[in-house]
C-alpha cells in the first residue's frame, strides 16, 4: 500500500519541479529599479536633490517626477528628517 502513495508523491514533486522551471527567471525593468535612501536635510529641495543624482544630459524634471513617484509624494514639498528613495540609473 505504501508503494502507490510513494509513486504519487514522487510524481507530484516532479510535476512541481517542472512547473517551477517555467517561471520567469528575472524581473521586468520596472521592478528591478535600484534605489539609494537619503534623509532630507534642512534647506533641501527636490530640485537640489535631483541635481545631485542626475547625469549630464538628464532632464531634472524627469528625475523630480520619478522621485515623487517612488516616494508617493503628492507635491514637491519635503521636510527635514524625511526619508526618500532616490532611483538610480534614471536615464535608462
Higher pLDDT, 27 or 32: 32
In a domain, 21, yes or no: no
DSSP string covering 20-72? HHTS-SS--GGG---EEEEE--TT--HHHHHHHH--TT--HHHHHHHHHHHTT
In the structure, what pLDDT confidence band is assigned to residue 25 with cuts at 50, 70 and 90? low
**Count: domains in the chain:** 1
In a domain, 16, yes or no: no
For 36-60, what is each residue's pLDDT tens digit?
A: 999 999 999 999 999 998 888 888 8
Task: List beta partners, residue 36.
Answer: 86
Instruction: Tell me the CATH number at 41.
Output: 3.10.350.10
Q: For residues 26 and 56, is the Cβ–Cβ distance under 8 A? A: no
pLDDT of 26 above 60: no
Nearest alpha-carbon partner for 63 in 85, 82, 81, 41: 85
In a domain, 19, yes or no: no
In the structure, what pLDDT confidence band is assigned to residue 32 with cuts at 50, 70 and 90? low
> For residue 75, what are the domain limits?
28-87
Tell whether pTM > 0.75.
no
In a domain, 56, yes or no: yes
pLDDT at 27: 40
In a domain, 5, yes or no: no
Range ranked top by mean pLDDT from 3-12, 67-76, 82-91: 67-76
Nearest alpha-carbon partner for 83 in 61, 31, 73, 74: 73
In a domain, 50, yes or no: yes
Amino acid at each position: 500500500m505504501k508503494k502507490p502513495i510513494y509513486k504519487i508523491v514522487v510524481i507530484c514533486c516532479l510535476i512541481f519541479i517542472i512547473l517551477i522551471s517555467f517561471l520567469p527567471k528575472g524581473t521586468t525593468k520596472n521592478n528591478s529599479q535600484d534605489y539609494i535612501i537619503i534623509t532630507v536635510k534642512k534647506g533641501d529641495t527636490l530640485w537640489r536633490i535631483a541635481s545631485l543624482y542626475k547625469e549630464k544630459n538628464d532632464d531634472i524634471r524627469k528625475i523630480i517626477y520619478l522621485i515623487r513617484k517612488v516616494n508617493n509624494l503628492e507635491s514637491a514639498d519635503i521636510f527635514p528628517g524625511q526619508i526618500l528613495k532616490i532611483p538610480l540609473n534614471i536615464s535608462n
